[in-house]
Amino acid sequence: MPAVLERRVSSAAPWSRRFGAFAVALFLTSAISHRFRLIDTVPFLWLLGLCFLLAVLGLSTAILAFAQMWRRGVGGLGTATLGALLSLVALGPYAVSAYGFSVNPPLNDVSTDPARPPPLGFATALRVPPMTPVTPPTAEGVILQAEAYPDLSGRLYEQAREIVVERVIALMRDRGWQVVAPVRPDDATDTVVIEAVARSYLLGFPSDVAVRIEDRGEATYVDMRSASRYGRHDLGENAVRIRRFLSDLDESVQTRPLL
């Protein structure tokens, strides 16, 4: 009975699948752990770098496997294809981040009043290297924000300051933000500043938020600031956070009954 010859398989194909699967598993595990605060941000950033390297290796070995199949007629198409797909899935979040990096200005601190942003007293005292320090606005940053986010502006409400303060704190807590400095209204000052720690929805990157509420006689004026703790570029996240929060605050102040 003649021996059955097994077709040779590309040596790179199994490695592509291993690298791709490991990259996806490591990314999901580390992202979930960081989102639920099981690991700190700095170790998570190192893990993200490792995930990127593994995904690139997986895609590279898949390309090498396809080349071996073309030149030598070896098998392993399914394994290499799976490895390439897994690697591309792992690289997806990095592609989204690259897009955000390219279409948004290099800002990590955004405010509805860029020339006089609400103070971040809690964040200033908390931030130590490698966190990004809280710094005064620069002329370049003010111009960049005005060009990129001309729609960001404060809000004027025909409601008492105390009511707006209650709504701001309620919205922060509804979002799961940690309110770290809930300054209550005081007759001695016309301004209230509320600070909180917000986290990005998917990966849980922390940002410091401040909402300034000013009593202007018959009305109340609100400004908001959001500043990322890590990195020089927020990929547009802080502007999105401010837009959504103020939009919800508009609805809350205008439609909810006063208690």
- Same domain as 87, residue 68: yes
Mean pLDDT of 59-70: 94
Domain presence at residue 28:
yes
**Is 188 a residue whose pLDDT tops 60?**
no
- Same domain as 246, residue 213: yes
- Same domain as 146, residue 37: no
Last residue of a domain, one of 103, 137, 154: 103
Domain presence at residue 1:
no
What is the spatial distance between Cα 36 and Cα 30, in angstroms, rounded to a whole number? 10
- Number of domains into which the chain is organized: 2
Phi then psi for 111, rounded to 5 degrees?
-145, 155
Mean pLDDT of 69-86: 90
Say which amino acid occupies 71: R
Domain presence at residue 5:
no
Q: Determine the pLDDT at residue 259.
A: 43
What is the spatial distance between Cα 164 and Cα 167, in angstroms, rounded to a whole number? 5
What's the predicted TM-score (pTM) here? 0.87
- Same domain as 132, residue 70: no
Q: Determine the pLDDT at residue 104.
A: 95
- Same domain as 126, residue 92: no
- Same domain as 136, residue 72: no
CATH of residue 205's domain is 3.30.310.80
Parent domain of 167: 109-255
- Same domain as 62, residue 35: yes
Last residue of a domain, one of 56, 84, 103: 103
What does the angle CA 115 – CA 116 – CA 122 come to, to the nearest 5 degrees? 130
Q: Determine the pLDDT at residue 4.
A: 44
- Same domain as 227, residue 125: yes
Phi then psi for 108, rounded to 5 degrees?
-130, 10
Domain presence at residue 6:
no
Domain presence at residue 4:
no
What are the angstrom distances between the C-alpha of 201 and each of 2, 158, 229? 62, 32, 15
Domain presence at residue 115:
yes
Domain presence at residue 55:
yes
- Same domain as 245, residue 117: yes
Read off the pLDDT of residues 127-181 as tens digits, 9 standing for 90 and up. 999 999 999 999 999 999 999 999 999 999 999 888 999 999 999 999 999 999 7
Domain presence at residue 128:
yes
Say which amino acid occupies 145: Q
For the chain, what percent of residues have pLDDT higher than 70?
92
Last residue of a domain, one of 77, 103, 129: 103
Q: Determine the pLDDT at residue 72.
A: 84
- Same domain as 41, residue 133: no
What percent of the residues of the chain are helix, what percent strand, and what percent coil, each to the nearest 5?
50, 15, 30
- Same domain as 149, residue 40: no
Q: Determine the pLDDT at residue 6.
A: 57
Read off the pLDDT of residues 209-225 as tens digits, 9 standing for 90 and up. 999 999 988 899 999 99
Report long-range pairs for 180-186 (Cβ below 8 Å, ≥24 apart).
180/122, 181/121, 181/122, 185/161
- Same domain as 124, residue 32: no
